[in-house]
Amino acid sequence: MTALRDTARAKLNLTLEVLGRRADGLHELRSLVAFAELGDWVAFKPGSELLLAIEGPFAGALEGDNLVLAAAKAVKAAAPTIELGQFRLAKMLPVAAGLGGGSADAAATLRLLARANPGALAPAVLAELAAKLGSDVTVCLESRPALMSGRGERVAAVRGMPGCGVVLVNPRLPLATVAVYGALKASPLSESRHGATEIPAFGGCFEQLIAYAQARANDLEPTASRLVPAIGEAIGALKAVEGARLVRQAGSGPTCFALFASADEAESAAATVAAANPSWWVAASTILPSG
């Protein structure tokens, strides 16, 4: 069998509201999530032994247990008869960047094993495994626009997400999620902030998306910027380029993004930011529309 391949797309929290700290110590969130065209990629070829080879510009930044192997082992535990084999991970996204890279890699692994073993892994089983592997793996499993809530385990599809240009900037400084939430000192979750959340629908309209996102924020951004001041510098650089309509931190990590009406505008802006900041990782891409 030839190797199968899947893209682990970058996850962007276009909004990230922290509603409060729950009794279990976790944080209740509400976040509009989109996915970019770019990402890592994972390849799989069945074999007798579970192996993982890592390559790509950010391969050297990975340490310790990898979520690709964790996902493969979780699948084998849930379905002992399936065949594992050799995985290749091309790490194209910065590590500890707030782009959900590890979670997307795990989700791609689940999808690959389902494709390689038709009928052996029901969608409900994949969803259960995703939730156990990490808070963001659930939304990355589908890699479609969604409103994410709870600690990330509740995912509702968002219709009418428009495609648009995006520029991603990372000052090449890691920032762990646990450090951000530890410094956040969020208030305890109140009963008034529980309950159903209205799912936005944008009708393919870029201006509606911008209006929705501008009315909300990434509540982690002030805390993260204090921990890594270069985040504020990246945001300032993106706000200064022509055509940037929404600029903010992408998640909990140091990557920041700007949305543009077109891919051409994003390409031009990325070239401008990269020329002025040669030590940063800068990439232009597109936001995938609702399918």
Active site residues: 11, 136
DSSP conformation letters of 127-156: HHHHHHH-TTHHHHHHTS-EEEEETTTEEE
Q: DSSP state, 263? A: H
In terms of Cβ atoms closer than 10 Å to its own Cβ (0-12, 13-18, 19+), residue 201 is: middle
Q: Strand pairing partners for 35?
A: 11
Give the H/E segment covering residue 207. Answer: helix 206-214
Cα–Cα distance measured from residue 42 to residue 115, given in angstroms and rounded to the nearest whole number = 13
DSSP conformation letters of 62-84: --SS-HHHHHHHHHHHH-TTS--
Residue 62: CA count within 13 A, CB half-sphere: 21
Q: DSSP state, 200? A: P
Contact 238, 247 (CB under 8 A): yes
CA dihedral for 23, 25, 26, 28, sign (positive or negative): positive
In terms of Cβ atoms closer than 10 Å to its own Cβ (0-12, 13-18, 19+), residue 69 is: middle
Q: How far is CA 111 from CA 7, 95, 243, in A?
A: 10, 22, 36
H, E, C per residue of 15-48? CEEEEEECCCCCEEEEEEEEEEEEEEEEEEEECC
Cα–Cα distance measured from residue 190 to residue 104, given in angstroms and rounded to the nearest whole number = 31
